[in-house]
Amino acid sequence: MYITFVAYLKYNKMMITGKFPNLRLRRSRRNNWSRRLIEENNLSPSDFILPIFLIDGKNKKQPIKTMPDVFRYSLDKLYPLIDKAIKNKIPMVALFPSTDKRKKNVLGSEALNEDNLVCKAIQLIKKRYKNQIGIMCDVALDPYTSHGHDGIIKSGYVLNDETVEILINQSILQAQMGCDVLAPSDMMDGRIGEIRKSLDRHGFKMTQILSYAIKYASTFYGPFRDAVGSKKILKGNKKDYQMDFRNSEEALREVALDIKEGADMVMVKPGLPYLDIIKLVKQNFKIPVMAYQVSGEYSLLANGITKGYVDKKIILESLLAFKRSGANAIVSYYADRLDKILD
């Protein structure tokens, strides 16, 4: 055991000097002030992105049954959310639509409608707040398709290149509306490069791309699919375009490709079960890495706290784990309650 540990230290170019009893690591843990003095990671509001679910109608704040204390909001309810986010120094919000099923079709055409929920929300936020807060928009078709998939389907298979053409147009539309950060979450090959080229051609050279470079085919997405209305209509699964959760080297290949194609930042999704992937990406590429504490993670924590199985302090512990692994920021449904969590 000792030889193995020494070999590990040499391999990682670490050096520990001193030995017990002269060296007592517990000395610095004894008092609160001392623990704070040497803590290696911490959280601030600047580490968070606030997701917001949108719904048609007026004066609506609709609970999401599978996500305690998370709601869908009509557009006229947006301002108090943004006001609070700015007051709490949250740097960016992420917009997700719950599209009326009557507006869905096999091509996801509503994604290209300049009067869709996301486009109208972007315009409202930009008109009132200018650049006080950033806006991130999902580039994907699953909120808009009648089959719940992220692209065009032919013979049961999601077509790659044909889907990318639609994603390009969706990206340009969102940029025209005023979106600051486009976040392709579809997992189609080659879409980052094509979107980047098209953005530049249309005069949006400063619009950022946050690529969902690593999005695993996960069972942790269930409550989110409830929130956007795709769970009941989803046919089959997404394993032929989202990543296999058994793989890590493949994740590095995905990131390398997206960086080469022009991604400014990358996302790892889900978050907590994939801390090893976040660390791998950060160590290998030194690029801004975002983590998504997805709906399933959130709901497990929220329900565990409500039932008394775990203490609410577990929220802070789980969020800090993202920072410790190397994440620059976290998309979290707890972002609207940071004043209580970080207190």
Per-residue model confidence as pLDDT tens for the chain (343 residues): 444 555 555 556 666 677 888 888 888 999 998 998 888 899 999 999 999 999 999 999 999 999 999 999 999 999 999 999 999 999 999 999 999 999 999 999 999 999 999 999 999 999 999 999 999 999 999 999 999 999 999 999 999 999 999 999 999 999 999 999 999 999 999 999 999 999 999 999 999 999 999 999 999 998 988 888 787 788 889 999 999 999 999 999 999 999 999 999 999 999 999 999 999 999 999 999 999 999 999 999 999 999 999 999 999 999 999 999 999 999 999 999 988 888 7
Contact call for residues 141 and 97 (beta carbons, < 8 A): no
Top CATH class, 47-341: alpha beta
Per-residue pLDDT, 12? 62
Distance between first and last Cα of the chain: 41
Tens of pLDDT along 200-224? 999 999 999 999 999 999 999 989 8
Cα torsion 257, 141, 72, 220 to 10°: value is -50
Per-residue pLDDT, 339? 86
Per-residue pLDDT, 239? 94
Which amino acid is present at 270? P
Per-residue pLDDT, 22? 84
CA distance 127 to 113: 19
Burial of 303 (0-12, 13-18, 19+ CB in 10 A): middle
CA distance 42 to 157: 44
Question: Any idea which residues carry the catalytic annotation?
Answer: 215, 269
CA distances from 330 to 33, 75, 126, 165, 317 (A): 27, 24, 23, 29, 13
Query: How is residue 138 written in tokens?
Result: 């999902």
Per-residue pLDDT, 1? 45
Query: How is residue 201 written in tokens?
Result: 């051609």
Burial of 249 (0-12, 13-18, 19+ CB in 10 A): exposed
Per-residue pLDDT, 25? 87
Per-residue pLDDT, 2? 44
Q: Which contiguous run of DSSP H or E holds residue 153? A: strand 153-154
